[in-house]
């Protein structure tokens, strides 16, 4: 073994060490993150397809298609959001609700101020938007106390749509 090391010389040994370091770096950090990146690319593709649906002749859910739930279902939303927050262990600091009505269509706006880690916040938003077949994320503001802070302060405004029952 020492004969092979002598034949490689100092540059060869350093090169072999660098190769081993790069391999361990790839297997330890880059490779696991590639799966998460692929998931994000799939989400991006789905969202792009949804946004381009009208241009391709596809139709988005509408009140006339019967896709919207009845307004009576709006009464359950605060409890469902609280359950999601408890499940995700979010610290909701302030929540406000506002129901508006215009020509048979109800808009239920929910404004939330909370603190959470970024992955927890993403999971919460995904589940909160899935509570109703037609919901939107109208506003999202994020702030960190400093770059190393594990939690973000988030301001969120969600809108859920309903029709008269």
Task: Give all domains of the chain, ordered by start, each with its CATH number.
Answer: 2-56 (no CATH), 71-163 (3.30.70.60)
Q: Which residues is 113 bridged to in the sheet?
A: 94, 155
pTM of the complete model beyond 0.75: no
Residues near 114 by beta carbon (within 8 Å), at least 6 away in sequence: 85, 90, 91, 92, 93, 121, 153, 154, 156
CB neighbours (10 Å) of residue 77?
20
Q: Which residues is 92 bridged to in the sheet?
A: 114
Q: Does residue 55 surpass a pLDDT of 70?
A: no
Tokens encoding 147: 């770059």
Average pLDDT, the chain: 83
For 57, left (φ over 0), alpha (ψ -120 to 50), or beta?
A: left
CB neighbours (10 Å) of residue 129?
14
Tokens encoding 157: 């405004």
pLDDT digits (tens, 9 = 90+) for 69-124: 888 888 999 999 999 999 988 888 999 999 998 887 899 999 999 999 888 999 99
């Amino acid at each position: 073994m020492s004969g092979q090391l002598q034949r490689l010389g100092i540059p060869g040994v350093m090169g072999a060490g660098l190769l081993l370091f790069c391999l361990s770096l790839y297997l330890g950090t880059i490779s696991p993150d590639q799966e998460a990146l692929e998931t994000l690319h799939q989400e991006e593709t789905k969202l792009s397809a949804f946004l381009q649906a009208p241009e391709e002749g596809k139709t988005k859910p509408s009140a006339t298609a019967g896709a919207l739930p009845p307004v009576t279902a709006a009464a359950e939303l605060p409890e469902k959001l609280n359950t999601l927050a408890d499940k995700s262990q979010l610290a909701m600091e302030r929540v406000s609700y506002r129901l508006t009505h215009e020509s048979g269509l109800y808009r239920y706006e929910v404004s939330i101020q909370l603190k959470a880690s970024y992955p927890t916040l993403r999971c919460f938003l995904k589940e909160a938007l899935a509570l109703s077949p037609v919901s939107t994320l109208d506003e999202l503001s994020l702030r960190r106390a400093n770059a190393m802070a594990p939690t973000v302060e988030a301001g969120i405004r969600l809108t859920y749509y309903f029709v008269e029952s």
